[in-house]
Amino acid sequence: MRRIATVTISTGLALTGLGAPPARASATTWATTGAYKAVAAGGTYERGSGKVTISGWLQDDKANGWAAAVQFRTTEGDGRHTSEVYFFLADGTPADLKYRQDYGKFFTSDYTTHLYARECGVTPDKKRTTKCADWQKIY
């Protein structure tokens, strides 16, 4: 079953993120590499011996039939954790419009050996069909 996380935006294009940003004591920046022209995501991650927390922003450069989204994966040994697909909502459907908005905390995992991110697109309808690019290694 596919898990999807969303944040609602109003018709006035005011975007609201979920969660409070974590402390920035040892934060390192991350960004996707542009696998999809209209999608970008970036922010910071904090990695300790027991967990990694990823926070940041999401950007959609144009209304093109796909809402911008991002997904994360962490690994440790033979194990892996894959996050939900994160995107914003406008009027109850994925937001296919031009914006750049802070999301806050995306994902936390207790697997810390490697972190990957990938850009995704979600159809702006009730089906929310998701298409994602290849995984990009952050560390």
Q: What is the mean pLDDT of the chain?
A: 88
Nearest to 84 by CA among 103, 101, 97, 102: 103
Split at pLDDT 50, 70, 90, the class of 5 is low
Per DSSP, 110 falls in state: S
Pick 83 or 9 by higher pLDDT: 83
Residue 68's pLDDT is: 98
Q: Count of CB atoms within 10 A of residue 95's CB?
A: 26
Q: Which fold has domain 4-137?
A: Immunoglobulin-like (2.60.40)
Task: Decide if pLDDT at 88 tops 80.
Answer: yes
Split at pLDDT 50, 70, 90, the class of 4 is low
Task: Decide if pLDDT at 94 tops 60.
Answer: yes
Split at pLDDT 50, 70, 90, the class of 26 is confident
Question: What predicted TM-score, i.e. pTM, was given to this entire model?
Answer: 0.82
CA atoms within 13 A of residue 68's CA, in its CB half-sphere = 23
